[in-house]
Amino acid sequence: MTVSRIIRHPILDFKRGKKSFFYIEDKLIEAYENESVLAALYANGIRIFSQSRILERPRGAFCLIGKCSSCLMEVDGIPNTRICITLAKNVKKVRYQESPASPPRTSFFTAKKPRKISTDVLVIGSGPAGLYAAIYASKYGANVILVDENPTIGGQLIKQTHKFFGSKDLYSGIRGFEIAKKLAEILYQRKNVKFLTNTTVFGLYSGRLAGAYHLRRKQLLKIRAKQIIVATGASERFLVFENNDLPGVIGAGAAQTLMNVYGVKPGEKALMVGAGNVGLIVSYQLIQAGVKVVAIVEAMPRIGGYLVHAAKVRRLGVPIYISHTIKSAHGKEKVEGATIIALDNEFREIPGTEKYLEVDLICLAVGLNPYSQLLSQAGCEMVYVPELGGLVPKRTRYQETTISGIYVAGDVSGIEEASTAMLEGGIAGISAALKITGNNEKALNEREEMLEKLEKIRAGRFFERIRKGLKKVLIDERCGNSTY
């Protein structure tokens, strides 16, 4: 069996921790305590984690952030465990499960009582928006609980190895994972900030009550907050083509998680679908990890990302096919090849232009959907805005939704970039703190400065769609919000 762990990387030094072992069925797997169960299986050549219910087709990883159901397995007797966000540490036995799997039987007398917690501000999600929200809410006197279902705070930042663009005050010239460390360090020094990692918030209820579940402690939590900031980010979009469910078809962000967080090569030869910034950046990162990028295809007649990113991969010999898409994936139990095809001006396939590529990895970088389910469930007024990526909540310029005391920030409120997510998080954090501590001239001034920076960033030509989308969701804060 080929072990695909990355030994040398030009930027990253992987802190895998102590070696550990667990069984998948009756096969012994070598793992490390700081990697997920899925990463350990992937490193040991295992690509199939489940199967479809009706046709029993093999299923592999797709998102690696706990948002899809492709990697549900039984772990130490617990079915439907998301092995992509479950650390291998202390795991003993992993098994494939039949679909649907039943929950384990629990005695009424042995079940843990829900733990009740209260706080001023609850921040859900610890990406750039959530980190900034926690920093600024705590800066202006609020007690904050920061919740994330992953083992490490930082969200998407922890897997970004490229240097960010923008202004110095928003960390331009610094790599994403280093930004995550800097922001986390600020919070670690705040006595009024508490962290709940490995914790999933599954519902928002009346009285600003959040229902959550601690994955490692296996305990239900009831978190009562005076103000709630939802910064749950986004999930990767899928794409329709023949055999798109084969193991080896994964999101570009999932490839980043494997190689940049856990130090595991997602494949040997890759096809990247999408030439926006994500597709171009991840293609370059794949090359850094030792993966050969065979081609990048883009359905549009032009490259969507910054030309500086396109130039970097082209200099390394990677062809970029514009007006092309993937037609089909090939393979029986995993990806063994792909066929791409040219598109006309109406995005119709042009017969006879098919080209077969020998690849074992197909990365999809075809956009993101706001992960807004919590807001819908809470009763916030939602609107479908294509320019912002999908279903998003209406909100004020201070990031407050139509339910008083519930705020949004980052990609969950509309797909943009890390710099705007940070600013939205800061605005939401200050707004939530002001509701608790009362008016503070310094806080009000800083919030206005952030609003001005946000407007300046969005004035650029790449943000024309965003400006159009925002007109559909912004509400006048003077009109008032519903109670909650």
Give the residue extent of every domain in the chain: 19-95, 115-235+369-477
Q: Which pLDDT score, from 0 to 100, does residue 106 have?
A: 59
Whole-prediction pTM value?
Answer: 0.94
Q: What is the mean pLDDT of the chain?
A: 94
Asked whether the domain spanning 115-235+369-477 has the same topology as the one spanning 19-95, the reply is no
List beta partners, residue 29: 22
Tell me the C-alpha distance between 151 and 87, whole Å.
Answer: 8
Q: Which pLDDT score, from 0 to 100, does residue 118 have?
A: 98
Is 483 a residue whose pLDDT tops 50?
no
CB 180 within 8 Å of CB 127: no
Q: Which pLDDT score, from 0 to 100, does residue 461 have?
A: 84
Sole residue written with tokens 């939205």: 424
Superfamily designation of domain 115-235+369-477: FAD/NAD(P)-binding domain (3.50.50.60)
Q: Which pLDDT score, from 0 to 100, does residue 167 have?
A: 87
Tokens read off for 205: 């209820």
- Model confidence pLDDT, tens digit, residues 361-370: 999 999 999 9
CB 358 within 8 Å of CB 269: yes
Average pLDDT for residues 194-203, to the nearest whole number? 97
Q: Which pLDDT score, from 0 to 100, does residue 166 have?
A: 82
- Model confidence pLDDT, tens digit, residues 436-479: 999 899 999 999 999 999 999 999 888 999 999 999 999 986 55
- Model confidence pLDDT, tens digit, residues 25-63: 999 999 999 999 999 999 999 999 999 888 889 999 999
Least confident of 2-6, 7-11, 182-186, 286-290: 2-6
Q: Which pLDDT score, from 0 to 100, does residue 484 have?
A: 38
Q: Which CATH class is domain 19-95?
A: alpha beta
Is 391 a residue whose pLDDT tops 70?
yes
Is 277 a residue whose pLDDT tops 70?
yes
The pLDDT confidence band at residue 482, using thresholds 50, 70 and 90, is very low
Cβ burial 409-441 (10 Å sphere, 16+ → b, else e): bbbbbbbbbbbbbbbbbbbbbbbbbbbbeeeee
As a whole-number percent, the residues of the chain with pLDDT over 90 amount to 89
The pLDDT confidence band at residue 98, using thresholds 50, 70 and 90, is confident
- Model confidence pLDDT, tens digit, residues 215-262: 988 899 999 999 999 999 999 999 999 999 999 999 999 999 999 999
Is 80 a residue whose pLDDT tops 60?
yes
Which whole-number Å values give the CA distances from 477 to 13, 122, 395, 399, in the listed order?
A: 47, 21, 8, 10
Q: Which pLDDT score, from 0 to 100, does residue 139 have?
A: 98
